[in-house]
Chains A and B, each alone.
Chain A
Amino acid sequence: MRVTVLLPRLLREHADGAQRLEIEVQDATLGGVLDVLGRRHPGLERRLRDESRALRRYVNFYLDDAECRSLDGAASRVREGTEIRIIPSIAGG
């Protein structure tokens, strides 16, 4: 199954400058997508979740139009063609 990951400008340097990544996954979950990302771009993946595989608190993951925390978090299911849009949340001062 193939999904698309859309990266914000701040993170593209950790994916060879790419704005858009096409990912083939066996495990059809957000966590499974991040596992693949971790093998391809470890410097990107560690900015999205910590070493215990918890999603970083101030990074939002929209699966099509739904933020993953309103679904099942990292266990949220993805389908063929799902667009995963990564957007840093509004945080800081």
Chain B
Amino acid sequence: MSNHVLLLIGTRKGLWLAHRRGGADWEVTGPHLPMAEIYAVAVDTRSAPRLLVGASSTHFGPSVVTSDDLGATWQEPEAAPIAFPDGTGAALERVWQLAPGPVDQPDVVYAGTEPSALFRSEDRGRTFELVRGLWDHPHREHWTPGFGGMAVHTVLPHPHDRERAVVAMSAGGVYRTADGGRSWQASNTGIKAYFYPDQYPEFGQCVHKIARHPAKPERFFLQNHHGVYRSDDDAATWQSIADGLPSDFGFPIVTHPHRPDVVYGFPLTADTTRYPPDGRCRVYRSEDAGESWTALSRGLPDRFWSAVMRDALCVDDADPAGVYFGSRSGEVYAGSGDGDDWRQVASHLPDVLSLRSAVV
């Protein structure tokens, strides 16, 4: 296995890349794609590594940019990679998620967008087509935007079954398909929506992020707008795993790449107090699928009034694995020992919106 770990750092004003080779220090380069707002990054390693970036220009709109040489050069088709078809009455605002598809479909990549929609690519993310089954869902007219917009921000293709996938949006909740995207079912049983009179509606939850482990694909972890949950039945029902956390509010949640019972989150105090509890920078890790939680703090600051966004916490696929998070105050930290020890990779960047890492 290569000893080159690549970390993509998407910020509000461009992309930075961090390379680590063997035991050497991190080497950070950038800005790449300067001034573009980078909500989505991905490293597709199912074949020769391809970097995918959802980049939005304030002036000139959104796009998807790719690199096949680890960021030395970037490519973009002449025509818009993602565009809503005529007749939808919609226009792409932003790409929130880029997700490589199943292992046995190495050319398939999915994109989650604002407005809430799912797009599918069969050329490794160069061009995409709208997944009509979700766009035509009768619930769509009832989905409502959260503060960040109305977006499909999470796309989790099944790692082996090309017919199955799960998406999440704010605020609409979790939807899943078992027929390749032709039909979608709301999948929010047990997830609370405290901001509605009926606090357990069929859909409308403000789900912030979901994670699944490829070795145990029927299990999911979910960070809600208040609430942390696990599903062990393919997202059909959800149970709270928030006990032991200092707060059930936060944005990201990720699983360990090799240990399906290990999950990480970054709690914030509450909906209206979006600081870490007591202003202390802490990643929380569970090693028993959310039954108990441990605060990870070695190497992290004690005074920290920033926050970690939904796609700014990630793991790599190295062995041993690395864990990473980026803050709205432009710092990036890398955790070794499954997150026991942390060191700073970068600081003084623009707000970090998205992170992804892989061995390349």
Give Cα A89–Cα B83 distance, bound, in whole angstroms.
24
B92 at the interface (CB under 8 A from A): yes
Taking CB atoms, residues of chain A closer than 8 Å to B80 are 46, 51
A32 at the interface (CB under 8 A from B): no
CB of A91 within 8 A of CB of B58, answer yes
Give Cα A88–Cα B35 distance, bound, in whole angstroms.
14
Say whether, besides A46-B79, A46-B80, A51-B80, A59 and B92 are in contact (CB < 8 Å).
no
Residue of B nearest to A14 (CB): B78
CB of A89 within 8 A of CB of B59, answer yes
Q: Among A42, A51, A54, A56, which residue has its beta carbon within 8 angstroms of that of B60?
A: A56
Residue of A nearest to B12 (CB): A93
Q: Among B77, B78, B92, which residue has its beta carbon within 8 angstroms of that of A50?
A: B92
Size bin of chain B's contact surface: 10 to 19
Give Cα A10–Cα B59 distance, bound, in whole angstroms.
11
Say whether, besides A42-B78, A42-B79, A52-B84, A47 and B61 are in contact (CB < 8 Å).
yes
CB of B83 within 8 A of CB of A51, answer yes
Taking CB atoms, residues of chain A closer than 8 Å to B215 are none
Give Cα A82–Cα B84 distance, bound, in whole angstroms.
32
Residue of A nearest to B89 (CB): A52
Give Cα A51–Cα B83 distance, bound, in whole angstroms.
6
Q: Render B54-67 as a binary contact track against A, CB cut-off 8 A, 1 for contact.
A: 00011111000000
8 shortest interchain CB distances as A-B pairs: A47-B60, A50-B91, A51-B83, A43-B78, A52-B91, A88-B59, A58-B59, A42-B78
CB of A59 within 8 A of CB of B59, answer yes
Q: Render A71-93 as a binary contact track against B, CB cut-off 8 A, 1 for contact.
A: 00000000000000000110110
CB of A91 within 8 A of CB of B59, answer yes
Tell me the chain A residues, 9-30 only, with Cβ under 8 Å from chain B. 10-11
The smallest beta-carbon distance between A58 and chain B, in angstroms, is 5
Size bin of chain A's contact surface: 10 to 19
Give Cα A70–Cα B80 distance, bound, in whole angstroms.
29
The smallest beta-carbon distance between A72 and chain B, in angstroms, is 20
Q: Among B35, B76, B77, B83, which residue has its beta carbon within 8 angstroms of that of A92?
A: B35
The smallest beta-carbon distance between A26 and chain B, in angstroms, is 21
Give Cα A59–Cα B35 distance, bound, in whole angstroms.
16
Give Cα A50–Cα B86 distance, bound, in whole angstroms.
11
CB of A46 within 8 A of CB of B61, answer yes
Residue of B nearest to A43 (CB): B78
Give Cα A54–Cα B61 distance, bound, in whole angstroms.
11
Q: Render B76-115 as a binary contact track against A, CB cut-off 8 A, 1 for contact.
A: 1111100110000111100000000000000000000000
CB of A52 within 8 A of CB of B60, answer no
Could you show 26 A-B contacts with beta carbons less than 8 Å apart?
A10-B59, A41-B78, A42-B78, A43-B76, A43-B77, A43-B79, A46-B80, A47-B59, A47-B60, A47-B61, A50-B92, A51-B91, A51-B92, A52-B84, A52-B90, A56-B59, A56-B60, A58-B58, A58-B59, A59-B59, A88-B59, A88-B60, A91-B58, A92-B35, A92-B58, A92-B59
Taking CB atoms, residues of chain B closer than 8 Å to A50 are 61, 91-92
Taking CB atoms, residues of chain B closer than 8 Å to A89 are 59
Taking CB atoms, residues of chain B closer than 8 Å to A54 are 91
Give Cα A50–Cα B91 distance, bound, in whole angstroms.
6
Taking CB atoms, residues of chain B closer than 8 Å to A10 are 59-60
Taking CB atoms, residues of chain B closer than 8 Å to A58 are 58-59
CB of A56 within 8 A of CB of B78, answer no
Taking CB atoms, residues of chain A closer than 8 Å to B35 are 92
Taking CB atoms, residues of chain B closer than 8 Å to A51 are 80, 83-84, 91-92
Residue of B nearest to A44 (CB): B78
Give Cα A79–Cα B169 distance, bound, in whole angstroms.
47
Taking CB atoms, residues of chain B closer than 8 Å to A91 are 58-59
The smallest beta-carbon distance between A55 and chain B, in angstroms, is 11
